[in-house]
């Protein structure tokens, strides 16, 4: 069962933020630890039942709040938060009633709603310590949020595990490379063949080390990986044009 429930309102420009946050948290903690309704509910499942079950079993709820969060209205002009059947309101109310950790996440310069802005069953949200996410420092702020959640939930870190495995593999490969004899360590025997062999071993060592570094960077750095993917995609496109 997911430990982290992401509550958001699509019409508050929070859908993109919630998607980015969910992707980062799933990468950090694993897919099975983060719930966001679009990806978390299979087709054909009963929406109210699934939502109620997820809220009843999560340990943390992140409430994403944009600048219009408390002001948005429905097609009849009624404020959404004033509707007792509004799903955003129902999810938050259920989490507050369980007295689990509910974190208001403030987006785009939003401020924490006051009690006067909230229906009675959400009054407690006004006193919950909020976490501010800035567009300018999104990655930094997200890293801080991840650290706080990791400490509270005591969850294993998928990214750290991957990094540890990569480091072990690097050490193993580096050890294997070190076993390739240096030219200086081999007996000095004159001859063109020996010089060619020694030179080739030097190139092999260099290529292996470069391949290891690129592989680790590709698996650990999303921007680097995206750049590599774009490079190969463009190269393939250029090659196809040349062939055609």
Provide the 3-class DSSP secondary structure of residue 89.
Answer: helix
Output the six-digit token pair for 119. Answer: 């229906």
CA torsion through residues 206, 212, 218, 224, sign: negative
In this predicted structure, what is the pLDDT of residue 3?
A: 92
Return averaged pLDDT per consecutive 10 residues of the chain, 244 residues in all.
90 86 93 84 83 94 95 93 95 96 95 96 96 94 94 70 49 55 50 71 77 67 61 64 66
In this predicted structure, what is the pLDDT of residue 172?
A: 58
Q: At what angle do helices 192-220 and 222-243 cross, to 10 degrees?
A: 120
pTM: 0.63
In this predicted structure, what is the pLDDT of residue 239?
A: 64
DSSP string, 192-234: HHHHHHHHHHHHHHHHHHHHHHHHHHHHH-HHHHHHHHHHHHH
Output the six-digit token pair for 203. Answer: 């190139």
In this predicted structure, what is the pLDDT of residue 18?
A: 92
């Amino acid at each position: 069962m997911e430990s982290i429930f992401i509550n958001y309102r699509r019409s508050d420009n929070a859908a993109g933020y919630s998607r980015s946050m969910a992707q980062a948290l799933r990468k950090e903690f694993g897919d099975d630890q983060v719930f966001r309704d679009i990806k978390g509910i299979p087709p054909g499942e009963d929406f109210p039942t699934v939502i109620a079950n997820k809220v009843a079993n999560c340990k943390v709820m992140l409430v994403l709040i944009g600048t219009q969060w408390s002001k948005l209205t429905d097609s009849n002009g009624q404020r959404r938060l004033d509707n007792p059947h509004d799903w955003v309101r129902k999810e938050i109310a259920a989490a507050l009633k369980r007295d689990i950790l509910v974190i208001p996440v403030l987006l785009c310069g939003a401020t924490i709603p006051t009690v006067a802005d909230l229906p009675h069953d959400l009054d407690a949200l006004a006193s919950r310590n909020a976490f501010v996410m800035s567009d300018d420092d999104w990655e930094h702020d997200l890293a801080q949020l991840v650290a706080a959640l990791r400490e509270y939930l005591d969850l294993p870190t998928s990214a750290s595990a991957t990094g540890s495995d990569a480091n072990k593999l690097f050490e193993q490969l580096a050890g294997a490379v070190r076993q390739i004899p240096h030219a200086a360590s081999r007996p000095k025997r004159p001859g063109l063949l020996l010089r060619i062999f020694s030179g080739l071993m030097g190139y092999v060592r260099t290529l292996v080390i470069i391949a290891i570094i690129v592989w680790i960077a590709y698996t650990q750095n999303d921007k680097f990986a995206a750049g590599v993917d774009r490079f190969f995609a463009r190269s393939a496109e250029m090659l196809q044009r040349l062939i055609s």
